[in-house]
Structure 1
């Protein structure tokens, strides 16, 4: 065995748990970020507001929550295979109008990756 790679392996082994934990997010901080969304969306309950409920969002195809009038662009995105998961939601939250051109959501997006990670952690607790 070559020992010249040992420092790299040790560094990877030490930093991996910290990086994995950092990606999990902080649900309390996510609740604070969600206040920007709560004007139009609910997460704790399965009731639509101006926007669709985000309760049980993960794993759901776009534009499939019942009794909500989605834009044609969002319906088309859902039919084309957009399913909400951490990656697709992260992209959408960065720039909703870029991810789904023609969406009627007026929110410009979140630019801070930590805010998005925390918001996703917050929403995941209501997706079980």
Structure 2
């Protein structure tokens, strides 16, 4: 009886030791750690990563000043599946965009625009096109256009410059002047009063003038 109990106790201890050893070994093999970058980006419906505000872009006038219509033509290939941009081009899934810059919203004859877009007041200005290309669904909530938008501000400017060259040819808006490098330069640019060095020693009106030669002689006599 004692031998049987010793045998059972021995097997129990052996099982416990084996389980402990396996636990330690598996922990060493399948050791987990924190990833270098926790989480992952989630793309929103507008094509931008969620969780933060978009960085402020340069004004459209500044971006148009350095826009490349050739690059815009390459980017417009993303739009070519739905739009034509040739004179007299047919409407497709989207309207023909020849000479569209500056026109009113919903200008293309024969195209069934959504009520959402037709309800947007104003024309297709450079600023309006920039906002539209950034996110059609934000610009006109309820629009039928499913394109997510172009997140790169300069790419949008390139596309707008290309579109403008296709039948519209409107003058580009003047880019804002660079801020003055210093307060003095800012005063000059603003037409403010700047004291010239040559005038700094000029005596005020009514003050007695001083003869330099007489002043030298008086100093020698001291």
Q: Structure 2-normalised TM-score?
A: 0.46
Within the alignment, does 1:31 sit opposite 2:73 as a pair?
Answer: yes
Q: Cα offset for 1:67? A: 0.4
Q: Cα offset for 1:122? A: 0.6
Q: Cα offset for 1:85? A: 1.2
Q: Aligned partners of 1:96, 1:22: CA distance in 2, in Å?
A: 20
Q: Deviations over 1:40-79 (max 9, x none)?
A: 01112332111001111111111121000011111111xx
Higher helix residue share: 1
Greater RCO, CA 8 A, separation 6+: 1
* Structure 1 pair 95–20 and aligned structure 2 pair: CA distance change class (3 A): closer
Q: Aligned partners of 1:109, 1:65: CA distance in 2, in Å?
A: 21
Instruction: Structure 2: state its 5+ residue gaps.
Output: 1-60, 170-222
Alpha-carbon RMSD: 1.7
Instruction: Structure 1: state its 5+ residue gaps.
Output: 1-18
Within the alignment, does 1:84 sit opposite 2:127 as a pair?
Answer: no
Q: Cα offset for 1:22? A: 5.8
| CA contact 1:110–1:116 (8 Å) conserved in 2 | yes
Q: Aligned partners of 2:150, 2:64: CA distance in 1, in Å?
A: 18
Q: Aligned partners of 2:63, 2:134: CA distance in 1, in Å?
A: 21
Q: How many residues align?
A: 107
Q: Aligned partners of 2:123, 2:91: CA distance in 1, in Å?
A: 19
The residue correspondences of 1:47-58 to structure 2 (distance < 5 A) are 47-58=90-101
